[in-house]
Amino acid sequence: MERKHWIDNLRWATVLLVLFYHVIYFYNNKGVFGGIGGFGDYPEYHQYQDVVMYILYPFFMPLLFILAGIGSRYALQRQSAKEWFKARTRKLLVPGTIGLFVFQWMVGYFNTVVAARQGVFDGMPAIAKYMMMAISGTGPLWFVQVLWLLCLMLLLIRAIDRKDWFYTICGKANYVVIILLGVLFWIGEQTLIKNPRPESLDGLLNLYKPFFYLVPFLLGYFVFAHDEVQEKLEKAWIPLMACAVVAGTVLIVTTFGQDNTSPQYLGSPLNCLYGWLMCLAMMGWFKAKFDCTSAFAGYMTRSSYGIYIVHYLVIASLGYMMKVHTSLAPWMMYAILFFAVMLLSPAIYEILRRIPFVRWCVFGEKKNR
């Protein structure tokens, strides 16, 4: 099968959007969990830059799961299910478990400090501190943990549909069906717990959202892996993007200031409509305009996963230091943090991938590429 460069390009471009999102998110004042907080309380102090969160959050992670589903379909056409799942386990589960204790514990340290729990380690044995920091350092690695679980579920679904009947049926989807699949997107969001109990694991379930992300992952595998469906999106990318912009504009104008990660916000029909249309529009746009490669694109295709794995350490450490220990103007903090995460994340990745044991633990890579 000829390599589809547009999928590679869309994947690493979306990863860069994640990095940009985290720069803004870290200093948000809209009540979104995590980060260190903004430069004043909303609504008395308006941080209009937070609009980036409202633009990106509804679609960029679902889009990554759609692309993962498409990639899983293509990979399983080349190798056996056993070989594929073994590779997925090394690439996803190893960084999402062992990698926490090798690298992500540093993120965990800053997560505890950023959460203003300065005394959380007082009187605690060193080993207990280390364990707590490792677990707290999961951060963006929730993505790889959930993706591994979805890969396991896919194997069970494939065992039921051995003749690939469902995949064949999905390949016949027309424009109306493709748009209406957004209803599944909305249904997935309804699995979130609307009023999570503080003393339970409800908040963790809402963070990981495995039942919601199962929807785009399976749609990627069964629907959007078809060439015919991809071509339909390519032809309609301009009207899809126009509709997404309209829906997104209405969403942001009517909801700016709300916690855009709350279950109520995410489950709203308008949020789901915008998120779904953006997923379709982005796939169509990249299929139409970016089905090519270059030296830079090739590097990002190979490296974006590793950059994603390490980037939040730059955000959490430098972002915290500037906010707490300097008097820099907010715009300077954003600028410094943006350029730092874009430059230092690849540098950290390039260093770690050259250390054999660390490379396996942190990135799930057996050998240097």
pLDDT one-digit tens code per residue, 308-319: 999 999 999 999
> Tokens in use for 363?
């990135």
Residue with tokens 């279950």: 263
CA angle 112, 116, 120 (to 5 degrees): 55
β strands within 23-125, DSSP E: none
* Three-class DSSP labels, 277-345: HHHHHHHHHHHHHCCCCCHHHHHHHHHHHHHHHHHHHHHHHHHHHHHHHCCCCHHHHHHHHHHHHHHHH
Question: Which residues 6+ apart lie within 8 Å of 112 measured at CB?
Answer: 120, 121, 132, 133, 136
* Rounded (10°) CA dihedral 350, 356, 362, 365: 90
Orientation angle between helical segments 5-26 and 269-289, nearest 10 degrees = 140
Q: Tell me phi and psi for residue 57, to 5 degrees.
A: -60, -35
Find the radius of gyration of the CA atoms of the chain: 21
pLDDT one-digit tens code per residue, 248-261: 999 999 999 999 99
DSSP state of 246: H
Residue with tokens 């295709």: 301
Q: Which residues pair with 297 in a beta bridge?
A: none
Give the per-residue pLDDT at 34. Answer: 81
Q: Answer whether 0.85 is exceeded by the pTM.
A: yes
Q: Which residues pair with 258 in a beta bridge?
A: 256
Specify whether the CB–CB gap between 163 and 84 falls below 8 A: no
Write out the chain's pLDDT in tens, 369 residues. Answer: 689 999 999 999 999 999 999 999 999 999 888 888 899 888 888 899 999 999 999 999 999 999 999 999 999 999 999 999 999 999 999 999 999 999 999 999 888 776 555 566 667 788 888 898 899 899 899 999 999 999 999 999 999 999 999 999 999 999 999 999 999 999 999 999 998 887 778 888 888 999 999 999 999 999 999 999 999 999 999 999 999 999 999 999 999 999 999 999 999 999 999 999 999 999 999 999 999 999 999 999 999 999 999 999 999 999 999 999 999 999 999 999 999 999 999 999 999 999 999 999 999 998 776
Question: Which residues 6+ apart lie within 8 Å of 17 measured at CB?
Answer: 56, 60
What is the spatial distance between Cα 190 and Cα 184, in angstroms, rounded to a whole number? 10
Question: Which residues 6+ apart lie within 8 Å of 161 measured at CB?
Answer: 167
Element (H, E) at 190: none
Specify whether the CB–CB gap between 185 and 218 falls below 8 A: no
Q: Which residues pair with 256 in a beta bridge?
A: 258
DSSP state of 355: S
DSSP state of 366: S
Coil, helix or strand at residue 258: strand
Question: Which residues 6+ apart lie within 8 Å of 37 measured at CB?
Answer: 27, 28, 29
